[in-house]
């Protein structure tokens, strides 16, 4: 059963689980289940994607209940009026602790043309764990709030890898040794990228909306283990 964060006659917001493909595509390989099919079965009606999240990413996903609403939401995403905030755990401590990554990216094909892309980030917390890896006796990790200003393919993952602070659990752009460390020492088997909040205008009423997706057990337990906390919108 999918966790529905919000629904009305126009749209539904789902807290997408990690490692669940959103829809069928060549990018998802041997996936057997797809969120869009599960949601249709759960609500007993057709639904239409307004945007997408990577298979390994969790968090807020907006789904329209008609093609017209999907188009209206799509216009907001294309017009960059949707504000997205992600929680992400990375290797190392970024310097500076707050900044903008401005680095052009290709589409799904690495050989394709590059287009401008910007991601804001801010370090929320950090830790140094006494685990030897490579030539370092201790390992540093940070919890970031990432806010993409554009919507390129795997933008946050590629941008953080570009500044040498890859996302933990990212098999394509991350560090295999640190990914294995998290599995072996912390029992964490997911990519630590979560679409935490999405703010947008309701496609029909125009009302301002902010939707927030709670972390799953694996992500929440890791934050608790590190003594990291994040405030829900209702606590701010």
**Active-site residue set:** 54
Sequence-ordered strand ranges (E) for the chain: 3-7, 11-16, 48-49, 58-64, 83-91, 98-102, 118-129, 139-148, 193-201, 208-212
The tokens for 108 are: 């799904």
Angle at 11 between CA 6 and CA 16, to 5 degrees: 60
Closest CA to 88 of 176, 28, 169: 169
Please answer whether residues 129 and 119 qualify as being in contact, where contact means their C-beta atoms are separated by less than 8 angstroms. Answer: no
Please enumerate, as own/partner, the contacts of 70-79 that have beta carbons within 8 Å and a separation of 24 or more.
72/203, 72/204, 73/11, 73/200, 73/203, 74/50, 76/200, 76/201, 76/203, 77/50, 77/51, 77/151
């Amino acid at each position: 059963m999918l966790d529905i964060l919000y629904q009305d006659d126009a749209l539904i917001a789902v807290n997408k689980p990690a490692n669940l493909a959103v829809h069928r595509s060549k990018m998802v390989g041997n996936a057997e289940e797809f969120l869009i099919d599960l949601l249709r079965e759960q609500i007993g009606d057709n639904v239409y994607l307004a945007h997408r999240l990577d298979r390994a990413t969790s968090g807020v996903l907006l789904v329209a209940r008609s093609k017209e609403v999907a188009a209206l939401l799509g216009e907001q995403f294309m017009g960059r009026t949707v504000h997205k905030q992600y929680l992400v755990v990375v290797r190392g401590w970024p310097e500076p602790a707050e900044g903008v990554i401005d680095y052009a990216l290709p589409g799904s094909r690495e050989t394709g043309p590059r287009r401008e892309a910007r991601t804001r980030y801010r370090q929320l917390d950090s830790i140094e764990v006494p685990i030897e890896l490579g030539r370092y006796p201790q390992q540093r990790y940070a919890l970031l709030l990432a806010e993409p200003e554009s919507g390129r393919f795997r933008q946050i993952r590629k941008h953080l890898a570009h500044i040498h602070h890859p996302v933990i659990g990212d098999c394509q752009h991350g560090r295999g040794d640190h990914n294995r460390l998290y599995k072996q020492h912390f029992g964490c088997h997911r990519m630590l990228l979560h679409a935490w909040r999405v703010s947008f205008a309701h496609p029909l009423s125009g009302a301002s909306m902010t939707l927030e997706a709670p972390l799953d057990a694996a992500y929440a337990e890791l934050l608790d283990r590190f003594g990291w906390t994040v405030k829900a919108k209702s606590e701010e």
